[in-house]
Amino acid sequence: MVGIVSGLVLLAVGLMLGYRFGRKHSETAGIAMSQDERERVLQMLQELGAWTNEYSGNVSQYQSRLGELSNEVRVDAQSTQSAPKVIALLKQIMDSNEQLQTRLESAERQLDKQTKQIESYLTEARTDALTGLHNRRAFDQKLDETFATFRKGGRSFALALVDIDHFKSFNDTHGHQVGDQVLQQVAKLLQLELDDAIIVARFGGEEFAILMSVPLQIAADKMNKVRKTMASHQIDLGTKPLSVTISVGVSEPRDDLVASPVVRRADEALYAAKNIGRNRVYYHDGKGTCLVGAPEVAKG
């Protein structure tokens, strides 16, 4: 029974930390709970606490009674009254143990169900349903966290904003189902090519956002390689393969007090990439936007 109680406690506390049975959940790792989510988990822990307190109380009661009986036996070794009392108490313990075992097993099943529901809720709250990437909420939280670490003297980072070129034409020409498939394929490629990124997220619509723990120029060069891979990759939709290109804007934190200027500079770089002709990468060095590579390379 102690094993069941211990397992329940570890399960519940593990959920609070973003783990379960020692396995880290990538969907929730490093992302803070909202107040509502925290209250739901705390309620579950309180319910668990009620079960464990009842169990602990019964154990303490039995230990105290057994101690009294042990003293009786030591005081009067010839007593014929102690044995029946011991037998009666042991029977009471066994009966109570069976009842608690049944109730704790029921509680474990209920807790497991609640745990899965909360895990599902936390995952859905931070995941884009269409692409499977982190959503805007998760990205904003991770950006704030990463920026706060930087402000405290931690490692710098780069932010890349990615926009699918002429995405509206995919929806208008081929329908929204094809547009959804394009989004899914672009998301898949970004995940594959940027598997060492801090976070890859769907920023909204046909736009994606990536945080990388590398300097600005390295991040810009890396995103240019991703751009070239995308341009050379055809998306097979079962009918006619489609060619998709992306425009990218990259920035990094400077002497900013908040994270929003980092996003603004990346957005300015992205606007420059799209305004000049798309299918290219621009970065913002804090003074202005700069094209990655020579113009003729950027077109290819």
Catalytic residues: 206
Structure tokens given for 206: 């046909």
**DSSP state at residue 133:** S
Distances (CA, A) of 25 to 9, 14, 18, 31, 73: 18, 10, 6, 11, 55
* Distance between CA atoms of residues 44 and 118, nearest Å: 10
* Distance between CA atoms of residues 175 and 150, nearest Å: 43
Beta bridge partners of 250: 160, 283
* Distance between CA atoms of residues 294 and 152, nearest Å: 37
* Distance between CA atoms of residues 41 and 34, nearest Å: 11
DSSP string for 99-129: HHHHHHHHHHHHHHHHHHHHHHHHHHHHB-T
